Structure 1
């Protein structure tokens, strides 16, 4: 599969950093990879999340960024897309989003689609983020961390995806400064247990603190088959 859907288990979980670091890993492995922001809210003009991706990838803005393919829906108000669109008296153009992703899929080996917030965030009044991803049969990458409360959100996300017959390609376990070490270690154990319970690949990649010099985590288990063997 060349298109992966990346969702955080909640807002502020470090999803944008994780997406940028996964794209960086792929590019350094010789994979022609790009990231997409499914819907960007709280912005005008260009997506700040994509700016962070490109910074981590070390590429600067790409031609597909300038063409608007990687941020096909941008809204000013920082909220779930259904409300941000309503406040601007606009409808979310799902067809434009789908055609942008399809065009990027033609140009790149791997496309990482970053969602807005968690899986149950409404894109429209009648369509949740997870429903959009499931309809397109995208493998899911979940981003979580060890802060208190995250285990609940992670297990619910695993169950939501599994009940929609989505494959979870892997879980990225983000560094979290306020995490209790005991909770952090037990959460990793429990996440793997519930992946197993729902017949999902037991893949968990730890992402350390992202600061200079940038770490080089191995995301190979998530992108099995997408990275050329050397």
Structure 2
């Protein structure tokens, strides 16, 4: 049986909009490709309330909470430190098993990362190590703010060191941004030149997590580059 494709939505750091981008892609699929079965996946979560709760609050999901997020911790810390506070060991086996289950039952898995590519998920592995070992292509979310271009360069240097498949960059407006500010803080030409990676779109500032606005934001992305053969210009819109 052929496994369904997975894409990892990672970021330059924590709090850069990975959840918004993942939500926008899922909302787009619901609106424009209702026959496509899409799963949301957050492999590890730190904090009493997090992305799993956000996804279930926003969307009417067929997945159970554990199918969205198989491993979680109470403290809002890096997973190995959060696990240590609870006297637990991080076991990636249930994470891998859940991902395999989702790939068997769904057409596409949108996997949200933890922090940036260099963020630790165990005492030995970073997010980049997991993507390398499991051969998951990535898209990097770059926040529109001062300093983001340097972080993008550093994250993609790590991605290339690990020989990851990189689909592109998505700029995300964390606050209301003018076109001038976008080009000053996350200049497309400079990002593409320094990282040798295409910018496949920009998510505008969204004050509220509303499904129609999220779907509209994702529609502006170069979806064929992000999910080749799955979403793109040839997609039938319903």
* Structure 1 residue 181, shift from structure 2 partner: 5.3
In structure 2, relative to structure 1, the CA distance for the partners of 1:180 and 1:86 (3 Å cut) is farther
> Structure 1, residues 39-63: CA drift from partner, whole Å, max 9, x if none?
11012xxx6312323455x42x43x
DSSP-derived class of the 1:162 partner: helix
DSSP-derived class of the 1:134 partner: helix
* Structure 1 residue 182, shift from structure 2 partner: 4.3
Q: Pick from 13, 17, 39: which aligns with 2:16?
A: 13
- Contact 2:21 2:203 survives alignment (8 Å): yes
Matched length: 219
Q: Pick from 141, 158, 161: which aligns with 1:160?
A: 158
Name the Cα RMSD after superposition.
2.1
Unaligned runs of 5+ residues in structure 1 are none
Q: TM-score, normalised by structure 1?
A: 0.87
* Structure 1 residue 24, shift from structure 2 partner: 1.1
2:177 and 2:160 map into 1 onto residues whose CA distance is 27
- Contact 2:42 2:51 survives alignment (8 Å): yes
Partner of 2:38: 33
Partner of 2:80: 82
DSSP-derived class of the 2:70 partner: coil
Partner of 1:122: 120
1:143 and 1:128 map into 2 onto residues whose CA distance is 17
2:110 and 2:132 map into 1 onto residues whose CA distance is 15
Partner of 2:104: 106
- Contact 2:10 2:140 survives alignment (8 Å): yes
